[in-house]
A = this chain, B = another copy of it.
């Protein structure tokens, strides 16, 4: 079924999951597509179409069962299937990510931290000891991580992504400016370009409607 799901529906799933979690925390057990659409700022028909990609969740005149929908979207997102992940780069951004992010609630289990800075190697964050990037290939051969977070500058990303791809890592969460998808086939890349988001805000601020 997954091959039919469009990228824009996939991108909305985490948002639905967040909103449904908030509803559950407020003890709201069911919600109409109209209410959900107001909260999510999408049309009710878009929401119905999105959920229809995955099966029938709503009931005419009743709306959606929040807990059922929350659980099902979590299952579709693969949140329970803890994929192993390593993180390369534990500078400011990397430290922020590893200390504040709950990887397990996103379907990943963080099993290794790497940096090339001698001042960081050997330090412990989030129960993991930061290892030297020179040991990366050996670690991957032994532990076969599914995914890697890249919190490193462009040149380091270019060099280390080669090592990672050659060692069998197939999924990348990329905070660097290096465009991995241009250089490797058959890998999955999710790029995070936070400056794009700031520029979008700048456009809106410069072009008030």
A contact residues vs B (CB 8 Å cutoff):
2-3, 10-11, 13-15, 17-18, 39, 41, 76-79, 81, 83, 91-93, 95-97, 99-103, 105-108, 146-147, 170-173, 181-182, 188, 190, 192-207, 209
Residue of B nearest to A75 (CB): B206
Q: Are A190 and B201 in contact (CB under 8 A)?
A: yes
State which of B10, B13, B95 has its C-beta within 8 Å of the C-beta of A92: B95
- From the candidates B2, B172, B192, B198, name the one contacting A194 in the complex (CB within 8 A): B192
**B206–A101 touching, CB < 8 Å:** no
- Which chain B residue has the least Cβ–Cβ distance from A101? B195
A105–B198 alpha-carbon span in the complex (Å) = 10
A15 proximity list for chain B (CB < 8 A)? 193, 196
Known: A93-B100, A194-B101, A195-B14. A188 touches B173 (CB 8 A): no
Q: Do the beta carbons of B206 and A107 come within 8 Å of each other?
A: yes
- Chain B residues positioned under 8 Å from A201 (CB to CB): 147, 171-173, 188, 190
Contact between B190 and A10, CB atoms less than 8 A apart = no
A199-B101 CB under 8 A given contacts A92-B96, A147-B205: no
CA A201 – CA B190 in complex, angstroms? 6
Q: Do A202 and B92 form a contact, CB below 8 Å, given A3-B209, A195-B101, A196-B14?
A: no
CB-contact partner of A200 in B11, B18, B198, under 8 A:
B11
29 of the cross-chain contacts (CB-CB < 8 Å) are: A3-B209, A10-B204, A13-B203, A14-B195, A14-B200, A77-B199, A77-B203, A78-B203, A78-B205, A78-B206, A78-B207, A81-B206, A83-B206, A92-B100, A93-B93, A101-B195, A106-B195, A106-B199, A106-B202, A107-B198, A107-B202, A107-B203, A107-B205, A107-B206, A146-B205, A170-B205, A188-B201, A190-B204, A192-B197
Question: Chain B nearest CB: distance from A154 CB in Å?
Answer: 11
Bound form: Cα–Cα A97–B2 in Å? 35
**A13 CB contacts on chain B under 8 angstroms:** 199-200, 203
Chain B contacts for A92, CB-based, 8 A: 92, 95-96, 99-100
